[in-house]
Each structure stands twice: as structure tokens, then as C-alpha cells.
Amino acid sequence: MKVWAIVERSASGPRRVSLEIAAKAKELGDATAIEVTGLERYSSLPAVGPLATKAKADAPDLILVGATPTGRDLGARLAARLGWAYASEATDLAVEDGAATITRTMYAGKVRATVRATLPAVVSVRPGAFTLKSGAAEPVVESVTADASAEKLAFQRFEPSAAASGRIPLAEARVVVSGGRGLRGPENWKQVEELAGILGAALGASRAVTDAGWRPNEEQVGQTGRTVTPDLYIALGISGAIQHLAGMTSSKVIVAVNKDPEADIFKVADYGVVGDLFEFLPAFTEEVKKAKAAA
């Protein structure tokens, strides 16, 4: 069984999800890690062409790609070019009898589905679906040169977003750390920002604190603010009013910290801590720091 893992690079090296799928590919069979070089920034036509040519030649049974925006773009177009089956955002994957059994969500995350795709197939894999074993060796990555002649678009420029300044946008964040009135005042947000920084998380806020002017409106999570679907949502000092819940109950895992044991947030939390936020938060931040360092 031949498996390809398409590698995406960031400034600091292969993306974590690429390493995860490369490791998974090795598990599944004869694995090749492959990347497209020669492109200053991703564009589908120059990348898909050479990959398709090589795929026709080498005939892998399964091509894995990380479900990043680039990966999903590349994976779908490649599957269409090759005429292969395509499944996106797999959270689990197994192969048997010439078919891939893929676990993924459907209906905007409301349903968990197990689907079967006859091989050959292209599958984009959710980051974090396959945990990387610590100490795993970095794979040898073959490269394929992009075909600039296939390009039909012209890159003009990059426009940084006004609110950017290193802040992670809520919309696609995988982790969100959200603060509510329990934090008592805007001056206490430094701890929230610290935790978010360590977790690589976006900052969220309840309506109460954005109304009070403690946090900007862009951070509001809730019915009149943003709806988020992260893997991890940490609600600090948020009571869990229905309008707020409407914005975050689709999160995969919800952690809530509140001193009121009756707070509604605990009814949707997977893990709840009842206690003094100001005692818990520093301790938790410390523990998370330790865990991340060891990862």
C-alpha cells in the first residue's frame, strides 16, 4: 500500500500537521513525504499539475494532506484532477480491502460520520487527529517542482489585516481562551493573554465585558458576536448565559472556571473548575507551560 503525505512548510520548518500525517503514512504502508517547491506562495494550478503527473506515474493508493486552508485547497483540486475520491477533515483513518474508512464530521460539525472511500483517494486530515509520538524522526521529503506555466492568476500583494498584530483570529482558531465578568476588570486580562499566548489561542470575551468596554467588540463570542468551533474552549469567569452559549457550544472540548457552582456554563462544560479564578489561573498557566515545553 503506497501512501503519500504532502508536506506544507512554514517559516520554521514542516508544519506539525505534515509531520503527523507523514508518521501516519508510515504506519499505513510504504510512505513518501512529498512537497512542492519553487513557489513563493501557494497557488493551486502550478502545484497540482506536477503532483498529478507524479501521482499518475507512481500510482500511490492514498494521498494525505493536512487540512489547513492550503491543504484543503490543494487536496480537493488534486483529487478532481486525478478523478479520485476525496474526503476532508478526517479525524481518523484506516485502510482495508482497497478502501479507506474515514471518520469525519458533517452538518457543520453536528454529526460524526464514518465514511468509506474506494482507493485511490485523497484525504485531508485535521491537525491533531494523529498525535505525533515524541522523538519521531523528521521524514525525508521528496520534492516536486511547481509548474509556473500552468498559472492563470497573478499575485498582486499581501494586505495585512488591521487587527492582526500577531492576534489569532477567532474564526479559525483551534483554541480559544475567553474571559467574562468574573475577571473583575480589564487590568486582569494580562493573565488571560499569557495563557492564550502559551496555548497559541485566540482571545474571546463575553458580551458583558465587551459592553463594558473592557475588551474590543471583535472578541465577543455569542449570539450577537462570533460563533467559534475550536477544539478547546476555555471559559474564564463566564456564567454561561444562553446568548454566549449560542456562540461556543460547538467547541469540541469546553473547560469552564467559575466560582459559582450553579453557573450555567457548567452544564455544557466537559471539564469544570469551581473555585477562585485568580488562584486557579496562575497555577493552570504554569502547568500548561510545563506541558507545552515537554511536548
Partner 1 sequence: MIAPTAGNAVLVGLLIVVWAVGWGLFVGRAWQLYRYLRLGRDEDRTQRPLRRIRDELVIYLGQRKLLKRPYYVRGLAHALIFWGFLIITIGTVDLFLSGVFGFRIPGTGTAPFVWTVDLFAIAVLLSIALAVVRRLFFPPPRMHVALDGYLILAGIAFLMLTLLLFETAGLVAGVAAQGFTAPPLATLITRLWPSPFPGESSAVVYGAAWWGHLVGVAAFAAYLPQSKHLHIVTTLPNVFFRSQRPRGALDLITKIEERETFGAGSVRDLSWKQLLDGYTCTECGRCSDQCPALATGKPLDPQKIVLDVRDQLLHEGHRLVRDGADRGTPPARYGPTKTEELWACTTCAACVEACPVTIEHIDKIVDMRRWLAMMEGDVPPEAQRSLTNIERAGNPWGQPPDTRADWAKDLGVPTFAEKPDAEWLYFVGCAASFDRRNQKVARAVVEVLRAADVSFAILGTEETCNGDPARRIGNEYLWQTQAQQNIETLRKYGVTKVIASCPHCFNTIANEYPQLGGSYEVVHAVQLVDRLVREGKLRMRDGATESVAYHDPCYLGRHNKVYDAPRDVLGAMPGVTTVEIAPHHRERGFCCGAGGGRMWMEEKVGQRVNHRRMDQILAVDAATPVTKVASGCPFCLIMLDEAVGAKAVQERIKPIDVMELVQARLIARS
Partner 2 sequence: MKILVCVKQTPDSTVRVKVAADGRSVDASQITWAISPYDEYAVELALERKDADPSTTVAVVTLGAARGRDALRQALAMGCDEAILVSGQGAETLQGSAVARALAKVVEEAKADLVLCGRQASDDDQGLVGLALAEALGWPHVSTITKFAPADAGPAGSFNGIDVWKEVEGGHEVWRASGPAVLTVQKSEKDPRYPSLPGIMKAKKKEIPEKDVAALGIDARAPSLEIVKMEPPPARGGGKILKDGDMKQTAAELVRLLREEAKVL
Applying CB under 8 A, the residues found at the interface with partner 1 are: 181, 208, 211-212, 223-224, 242-243, 246, 264, 267
Look at residue 285 and give its three-state secondary structure: helix
Return the number of the residue (241 or 268) whose C-beta is nearest partner 2. Answer: 268
Return the number of the residue (25 or 117) whose C-beta is nearest partner 2. Answer: 117
Residues with Cβ within 8 Å of 40's Cβ and at least 6 positions away in sequence, in order, are: none
12 binds, among partner 2, partner 1, none (CB under 5 to 8 A by kind): none
In sequence order, the β-bridge partners of residue 125 are 66, 90
CB atoms within 10 A of CB 60: 24
What's the CA dihedral at 5, 8, 11, 17 to 10 degrees? Answer: -60
Give ∠ CA 180-181-185 in degrees, rounded to 5: 110
Minimum CB separation of residue 97 from partner 2 in Å reads 13
- Grid cell at residue 25: 503514512
212 binds, among partner 1, partner 2, none (CB under 5 to 8 A by kind): partner 1
Minimum CB separation of residue 260 from partner 1 in Å reads 10
Minimum CB separation of residue 143 from partner 2 in Å reads 23
181 binds, among partner 2, partner 1, none (CB under 5 to 8 A by kind): partner 1
Minimum CB separation of residue 203 from partner 2 in Å reads 16
211 binds, among partner 2, partner 1, none (CB under 5 to 8 A by kind): partner 1
Return the number of the residue (211 or 287) whose C-beta is nearest partner 2. Answer: 287
Return the number of the residue (132 or 142) whose C-beta is nearest partner 2. Answer: 132
Helix locations, 10-125, DSSP H: 16-28, 44-58, 69-82
Distance of CA 252 to the CA centre of its chain: 12
Compute the distance between CA of residue 22 and CA of residue 154 in angstroms, rounded to an integer: 32
Return the number of the residue (138 or 286) whose C-beta is nearest partner 2. Answer: 286
Return the number of the residue (157 or 190) whose C-beta is nearest partner 2. Answer: 157
Residues with Cβ within 8 Å of 250's Cβ and at least 6 positions away in sequence, in order, are: 108, 109, 110, 227, 228, 229
85 binds, among partner 1, partner 2, none (CB under 5 to 8 A by kind): partner 2
Minimum CB separation of residue 73 from partner 2 in Å reads 5
H or E element in which residue 190 lies:
helix 189-199
79 binds, among partner 2, partner 1, none (CB under 5 to 8 A by kind): partner 2
Nearest to 144 by CA among 21, 54, 10: 54
